[in-house]
């Protein structure tokens, strides 16, 4: 059965597409999966004990917005991490950032702007839920190249004024999946000024914010505070999936201006699926502890270092500033993914599957995305095979 018409422009999702590309072929060696961004480092030790202590709370409906204790723990984390005060009323608990990035758009996007069809901006390539939100809302998704030429960040300010005047929401992902760049403070400040000038809101996807190796990436709430921006201009999304290696907990949050969060809360009061209370307790504990996050970060840093050694001398190789993906330049991403699978058994994702064709160009075409999520030894084996196979 086909999707309704509004989704007719959606390409097939990246992973079924990858299966179609690779599965008819026999892998060249024992498979190594480097495709999905599913963290595989240890979960924090307190998980089981916290869950056991609160198991009886599965007997009650969970608070929709998040328990006061969870919202308090997130508010204190934001204070420690970004040096800015965000009251618990300005935070909403989420089942991971993915649904929040979708539902916040539903709560915030008007049906028209100045009598015209609204525009939602997103980088290209990008995390696919952004496009789904725009299409669901009947807004026009505008895919803005985030390529080497633009420092791998979208140049929203370079769009024509008539497009900018229709923008209602702009997604930003920093550290960026898949390119691994971090948006600098002045870039975020510029975007906030643009949002003020053209009257739109920034949806800042920061779920990789804790995976970095040089300096903690600035957050949109932090920059908004520093430059004195209207707090309603920004909603920041974060998650325990990557920070705490608990993607299956499905726990995250959105924080922003009081009115915007009230609208997200209202939408969720009608149609949300709040996180079960025992899981909220685990989340509360996770946002209150940095030791497990530091240990996790070091494991990624080790892998960045070894990856840089393995790919030394490869033209265009960049160590990611954050996150856990390599965005490797190749002549053709699909051909490279197929070659890597057939010759070495390493499974990687063609960059084009994460991007949209715009005017006949796909900005992911000449890349593969490689996830550094497996334990170190497995990752090293996979990377060495890729180097030999694709860059000999």
Q: Site residues (CB under 6 A) for ligand PLP?
A: 37, 96-98, 127, 173, 177, 205, 207, 239, 241, 247, 252
- In angstroms, give the least distance from the CB of 2 to ligand PLP: 26
Task: Using CB positions, name the residue nearest to ligand PLP.
Answer: 96
Which of 119, 391, 84, 362 shows the shortest CA–CA distance to 218? 84
Question: C-beta of 248: minimal distance to ligand PLP in Å?
Answer: 9
Whichever of 98 and 347 has its CB closer to ligand PLP, that residue is 98
The answer for residues whose C-beta is within 8 angstroms of residue 51's C-beta and 6 or more apart is 278, 279, 281, 282
- Give me the torsion for CA of 169, 172, 178, 184, rounded to 10°: 160
> In the complex, what is the shortest distance from the CB of residue 99 to ligand PLP, in angstroms, rounded to a whole number?
7
Residues 237/94, Cβ–Cβ less than 8 Å: yes
Q: Shortest gap between Cβ of 171 and ligand PLP (angstroms)?
A: 9
Q: How far is the CB of 56 from ligand PLP (least distance, A)?
A: 27
Question: Which CA distances in Å does 80 have to 83, 86, 216, 290?
Answer: 6, 11, 12, 11
Position of tokens 């839920």?
129
Q: Which is nearer to ligand PLP, 243 or 387 (CB)?
A: 243
Nearer to ligand PLP, 256 or 345 (CB): 256
The residue among 57 and 99 lying less far from ligand PLP, judged by its C-beta, is: 99
Q: How far apart are the first and last CA of the chain?
A: 45
Q: Which residues of 342-373 are buried (b: 16+ CB within 10 A; e: fewer)?
A: eebbbbbbbbbbbbbeeeeebbbbbbbbbbbb
Q: How far is the CB of 3 from ligand PLP (least distance, A)?
A: 21
Residue placing its CB nearer to ligand PLP in the complex, 78 or 164: 78
* CA R_g for the chain: 21
Phi, psi dihedrals of residue 207, rounded to the nearest 5°? -70, -15
Helix (H, G, I), strand (E, B) or coil at 241: helix
Whole-number Å distance between alpha carbons of 177 and 190 = 21
Q: Which is nearer to ligand PLP, 336 or 354 (CB)?
A: 354
Could you tell me the CA-to-CA distances from 96 to 32, 226, 241 in Å, in that order? 27, 27, 7
- 44 φψ region: left (φ > 0), alpha (ψ -120 to 50), beta (else): beta
Half-sphere exposure of residue 54: CA atoms within 13 angstroms, side-chain side: 19
Rank residues 173 and 195 by Cβ distance to ligand PLP and give the closer one.
Answer: 173
Instruction: Pick between residue 368 and residue 390 the one whose CB is nearest to ligand PLP.
Output: 368
Q: Which is nearer to ligand PLP, 127 or 353 (CB)?
A: 127
């Amino acid at each position: 059965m086909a999707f309704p018409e509004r989704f007719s422009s959606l390409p097939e999702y990246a992973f079924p597409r990858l299966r179609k590309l690779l599965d008819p072929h026999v892998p060249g060696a024992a498979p190594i999966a480097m495709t999905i961004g599913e963290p595989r480092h240890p979960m924090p030790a307190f998980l089981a004990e916290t869950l056991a202590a609160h198991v009886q709370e599965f007997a009650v409906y969970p608070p929709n917005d998040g328990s006061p204790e969870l919202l308090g723990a997130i508010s204190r984390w934001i204070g420690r991490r970004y040096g800015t005060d965000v009251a618990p009323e300005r935070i909403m608990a989420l089942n991971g950032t993915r649904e929040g990035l979708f539902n916040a758009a539903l709560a915030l996007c008007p049906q028209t702007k100045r009598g015209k069809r609204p525009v939602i901006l997103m980088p290209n390539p990008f995390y696919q839920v952004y496009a789904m939100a725009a299409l669901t809302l009947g807004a026009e998704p505008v895919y803005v190249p985030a390529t080497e030429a633009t420092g791998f960040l979208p140049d929203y300010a370079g769009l024509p004024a008539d497009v900018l005047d229709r923008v209602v929401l702009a997604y930003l992902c920093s550290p960026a999946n898949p390119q691994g760049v971090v948006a600098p403070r002045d870039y975020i400040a510029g975007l906030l000024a643009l949002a003020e000038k053209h009257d739109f809101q920034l949806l800042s996807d920061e779920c990789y914010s804790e995976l970095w190796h040089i300096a903690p990436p600035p957050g949109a709430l932090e920059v908004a505070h520093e430059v004195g921006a209207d707090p309603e201009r920004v909603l920041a999304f974060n998650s325990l999936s990557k920070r705490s290696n608990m993607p299956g907990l499905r726990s995250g949050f959105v924080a922003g201006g009081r009115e915007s969060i009230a609208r997200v809360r209202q939408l969720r009061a009608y149609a949300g699926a709040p996180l079960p209370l025992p899981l909220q307790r685990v989340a509360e504990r996770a946002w209150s502890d940095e030791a497990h996050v530091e240990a996790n970060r070091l494991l990624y840093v080790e892998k960045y270092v070894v990856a840089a050694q393995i790919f030394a001398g490869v033209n265009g190789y960049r160590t990611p500033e954050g996150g856990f993906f390599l965005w490797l330049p190749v002549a053709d991403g699909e051909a490279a993914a197929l070659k890597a699978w057939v010759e070495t058994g390493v499974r990687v994702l063609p960059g084009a599957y994460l991007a949209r064709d715009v005017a006949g160009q796909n900005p992911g075409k000449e890349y593969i995305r490689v996830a550094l999520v497996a334990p170190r030894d497995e990752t090293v084996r996979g990377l060495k095979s890729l180097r030999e196979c694709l860059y000999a």
